[in-house]
Amino acid sequence: MSRRSLLLSVLALSVSACSSVRHNQASGDFEYATGEEATPLVVPQSLDKPAAKSDFKVANVKNTQGPVGQAVDVRAPSLVLPIAASSRVVPENDDAIIWFDKVLEDKDLAQFIELAVKDTLLESSVEFNSLADKPLSFESDWFHSEEESGWIFKQVDASESMRFRFDLTTKPHGRSVSLQVSMIDYMKTDQSGSTKTPNIIDKHRAEMALLNEITATVDYKYRLQQRENRLMRANQKLVTVGENPQGEAAYVVEMETDLLWSNLPIFFERYGFDIADLNESKKIYFVDFTQPDISLWDRIWGDDVPVIELSNASYQFHLKPLAESQSTALTIYNSEQQALTKEVLEQIFPVMEPALSFRDL
């Protein structure tokens, strides 16, 4: 079933009652709805009236503001499903609203969510309209659904149409955006006549269903973008052998210095380096290297990590930003303050290149 068909089915089921089985109705009899209040106990004046507690007293007040008996809707309330990364709901809020926090640093969050709304409506062949006077508010065209009967000669027994508004609210820092879905127009025609007023429960369920569909689209787009990023990094050579600003042999990593600095502890932990000290202002790591002991079982189960062919000793990793680029020169010094030669860097390059690209993360 396509996502378009799924959405229409959910909306149709949430707004219209099933003709054969009413899932919103409680099972059993409803004699309690017509029951009368029991006659109070009459105590003769010559006798003492027994003590009575009002803990379980039922007030003798008729329910004139809500449904009774078979008319009571017993369906569980619809909930917002924060299934997308860094999405959250507002506690104790019954509105169809969800908050998204920034996940993709290179994407404008509000525009990303707006595109998800457009794509969700497009899958249902529904037009998306921007509001000139409200830059962060949008409206949909009509969603239509029909109920038909008959086999050879079909006839429309009921038809429903609805429109929605989508309101985005952005925090001043731009890293958090909320999306609220509201039904703004409704029309229904069946054998009992026409109405433009939806049932309040069905209206809420339709808003929640559409909001959850949009959230699923956001989640799908996140996963798609992450996959594209992984493929790009897997096919891109981010590390080469070059020189630092002093002319010494070094790895040139196409990554900003601060980002490489924050990622190097992951590299150290995985490949046998222990951080002994560091100088963050000069971007220097002091490490001790011990080649990992790869057991036979590690090789059988595929848990072995490629070994860097260096001597067990102390080393220093110096990071220097390269002028007019976002690359960083990574120079490795031995315990005698000598930079590793180009030949040594090329020898261990098959392991260092994917490791410093962080492709396996």
Give the separation between CA 211 and CA 120, rounded to whole angstroms: 10
E strand or H helix that includes residue 277: strand 273-279
pLDDT at 208 over 90: yes
Q: Which residues belong to CATH 3.30.310.170 in the chain?
A: 239-357
Q: What is the DSSP string of 190-206?
A: ETTEEES---HHHHHHH
Name the DSSP class of 339: B
Q: Taking residues 268-278, report their average pLDDT.
A: 93
Dihedral of the CA atoms 56, 59, 62, 63 (nearest 10)? -60
Kindly indicate the confidence band of residue 244, based on its pLDDT and cuts at 50, 70 and 90. Answer: very high
Minimum mean pLDDT range among 214-228, 234-248, 321-335: 234-248
- May I ask the CATH class of domain 239-357? alpha beta
The reported pTM is 0.56
Q: What is the model's pLDDT at position 57? A: 72
What pLDDT digit, counting tens, does each position of 61-96 carry?
665 566 777 777 778 778 899 999 999 998 878 899
CATH code that applies to domain 77-232 = 3.30.530.50
What pLDDT digit, counting tens, does each position of 122-162 carry?
999 999 999 988 889 999 999 999 888 877 778 888 999 99
Tell which residue, 233, 244, 247, has the closest CA to residue 317.
244
Q: What is the model's pLDDT at position 6? A: 46
Q: What is the model's pLDDT at position 217? A: 96
Q: Which three-class secondary structure state does DSSP give residue 165? A: strand
Tell which residue, 181, 131, 193, has the closest CA to residue 7.
181
Q: Which residues belong to CATH 3.30.530.50 in the chain?
A: 77-232
pLDDT at 59 over 70: no
Q: Taking residues 26-46, report their average pLDDT.
A: 77
What percentage of the chain has pLDDT greater than the value 70? 85
Give the separation between CA 301 and CA 296, rounded to whole angstroms: 9
